[in-house]
Structure 1
Amino acid sequence: ISSRLASSLGFEVGMFAGSVASAMVLGAPDITLITLSEFVDQARRVTRASDISLMVDSDHGYGNAMNVMRTVSELENAEVCAMSIEDTSLPTPFGEKQGAAVISLREAVGKMKAAVAAKRDPATVVIGRCAAMGIEGIDGVLTRAKAYEEAGVDALFFTGLSTKEHVQAIRAATTIPLMLGSAPAEIQDQEFLAANGVRIALKGHLPLQVMVQGIYDALKHHADGGQPAGMSDRTPSAEIMAQALSSADYDAWQSEFLK
């Protein structure tokens, strides 16, 4: 439904985050509990539902470099157009704080090379995701960024950047398109980002958060004895529901094939 609505609003690319997958499939937080098969199945449902190009956050590729190759293959089969592979040490090692460790540069480069080698469609985009900012600082990030580009990834994805200087330093050290995770307002200037090679800048998971709040509010309204009419101003129009469910397509198919 989200992909259909996004497409109807003119979005060309959708992002399916690992945290959203964990929430939707498992009702669990983003702590690397979802399996590759569960993730791929959900991605396939999205690509089947609409024509929007789907980019996914495939975490650490669900294991070592060999697992990364399997991940790329399965996601391509699900008609995913782009996927990120990150250097965070996942699942969180015993005794470590979540997200507080990254794998070695050598291992990370091996995983990036494996992802690129596994592509069957040259149009598939492999994105090397770097989460080392809070661990190795900007120098470590620059070293990894250059190494991932040399490994053949099509784009680079960074989390934890906090200043424009970080973005500028990365742009100076690399040549391929850049992507940012949620970042401070100082960085969220579209002209600045475009001038420094950033092609995608994520803005968190607002649709999921609004959806959860909406479900809670509706259930709370009923629990308090409220009637549906009391929340009529919060419900979608018939037109929006029809877009979400592709009702026009199904009506046409029923008219053609069932009558």
Structure 2
Amino acid sequence: MTTRKALKQLASERRAIVVPGAPNALFARAIEDAGFPVIYVSGAGVANMQLGLPDIGLGTVTELVQTVSAIADTVDRPLIVDADTGFGNAMNMYRTVRQLERAGASALQIEDQVFPKKCGHFEGKATIPAAEMIEKIKAALDARQDENLQIIARTDARAVEGLDAAIERAQMYQEVGADMTFVEAPRNVDELGRIARELKAPQVANIVFGGHTPDPGQAALAEMGFAFTLYANAALQASLLATQTVLGSLKDHGSLQEVSKLLAGFKQRQDAVKKPEWDAREALYATKSEGAQK
């Protein structure tokens, strides 16, 4: 089964599968090694970790494609990719989908914010007209080459017009062919329940530590009927805190002795990037080369 078919099957099961976010290939390896079945390529994560920038639409499609390609080349898991607004109008959306599908995406999340967009849990967001978003969804559906590539239509209307309007938009998006919908930033468990009850397509929940949406846990979200639960930047937030702690101690003490327990060992680091596999491959090719010379 291809990763795209696998993701489509998982979505149909509606088990609120936990999907951690990866801003780069190393984090994706860690997520795969931990046993998670799906990886989320977070736009915020790429902006924060690759570019050192806030999630306010400063990244480009080229930078995202490069990141997705590196991750897809590194892990064997379905990738849900945050494609933001498609980086422009419907024509830009068409090209974005083509590029990210070739790069290895199994699903693309597209949204109805104005371009450039903002993080879904920031204030001051604005949405485009629903009719304009529908044209973008149609362009995304036309652009995909593999019908198993899932198009996830996200709406940020909850923060702009309220939950009723957000659910109405999501209904329109699924009616024109979106495979899944995603109402961003509901404010409480009751709102999460309404989203799952009132929308027939598989739904995505996004849990941001410190954000607007509460975290009722996978069991509760699965009971509601959500398909996936994103923890887009949990790994990034953990690594940032650990990095700041370690560097602060190194600056204060001039050594790593005080924080050695926070550091991955040398072997652990090499195992994380599969160095033993590359060593075995090198030995195999070296043996063949020596035999050819004889």
User: TM-score, length-normalised on structure 2?
Assistant: 0.81
Matching residue within 240, 246, 254 for 1:212 = 240
Whether 1:146 and 2:174 are equivalent positions in the alignment is no
2:164 partner amino acid: D
Q: Which residue of 2 aligns with 1:136?
A: 161
Counterpart CA distance in 2 for 1:99 and 1:69 is 27
8 Å contact kept, 1:145–1:170: no
2:286 partner amino acid: L
Q: Which moved more, 1:55-64 or 1:159-168?
A: 159-168
Q: Which runs of 5+ in 2 are unaligned?
A: 1-25, 288-294
Matching residue within 226, 229, 241 for 1:198 = 226
Counterpart CA distance in 1 for 2:154 and 2:222 is 19
Higher relative contact order (CA closer than 8 Å, sequence separation 6+): 2
1:78, distance to aligned residue in structure 2 (A): 0.5
Q: Which runs of 5+ in 1 are unaligned?
A: none
Matching residue within 244, 252, 257 for 2:272 = 244
1:41, distance to aligned residue in structure 2 (A): 0.4
1:202, distance to aligned residue in structure 2 (A): 2.1
Counterpart CA distance in 2 for 1:49 and 1:88 is 31
1:243, distance to aligned residue in structure 2 (A): 3.0
1:124, distance to aligned residue in structure 2 (A): 0.7
1:231 partner amino acid: V
8 Å contact kept, 1:40–1:74: yes
Structure 1 residues 57 and 258: alpha-carbon distance in aligned structure 2, compared to 1, 3 A threshold = same
1:228, distance to aligned residue in structure 2 (A): 2.9
Whether 1:119 and 2:144 are equivalent positions in the alignment is yes
Whether 1:6 and 2:34 are equivalent positions in the alignment is no
Q: Which moved more, 1:100-109 or 1:235-244?
A: 235-244
1:208, distance to aligned residue in structure 2 (A): 0.7
8 Å contact kept, 2:107–2:149: yes
Q: Which residue of 2 aligns with 1:156?
A: 181
1:163, distance to aligned residue in structure 2 (A): 2.8
Runs of 4+ in 1 over 6 A off after TM superposition: none
1:22, distance to aligned residue in structure 2 (A): 0.7
Matching residue within 211, 218, 230 for 2:258 = 230
Counterpart CA distance in 2 for 1:178 and 1:253 is 42
Instruction: Describe the superposition over 1:80-135 as per-residue Cα deviations: whole angstroms up to 9, x where unpaired.
Output: 11110001112159xxx964210001001111111111110111111000110011
Instruction: Describe the superposition over 1:128-179 as per-residue Cα deviations: whole angstroms up to 9, x where unpaired.
Output: 0011001111221121011000111111112121233323333333211100
Instruction: Describe the superposition over 1:220-254 as per-residue Cα deviations: whole angstroms up to 9, x where unpaired.
Output: 22322422333321111455323311112111111
Q: Which moved more, 1:233-242 or 1:110-119?
A: 233-242
Q: Which residue of 1 aligns with 2:96?
A: 71
Q: Which residue of 2 aligns with 1:180?
A: 205
Q: Which moved more, 1:190-199 or 1:48-57?
A: 190-199
2:154 partner amino acid: R
Structure 1 residues 85 and 38: alpha-carbon distance in aligned structure 2, compared to 1, 3 A threshold = same
1:221 partner amino acid: S
Q: Which residue of 1 aligns with 2:17?
A: none
Whether 1:55 and 2:83 are equivalent positions in the alignment is no
Counterpart CA distance in 1 for 2:27 and 2:75 is 9
Counterpart CA distance in 1 for 2:54 and 2:70 is 21
Aligned-CA RMSD value: 2.0
Counterpart CA distance in 2 for 1:142 and 1:230 is 51
* Secondary structure at the counterpart of residue 51 of structure 1: coil
Q: Which moved more, 1:201-210 or 1:131-140?
A: 201-210
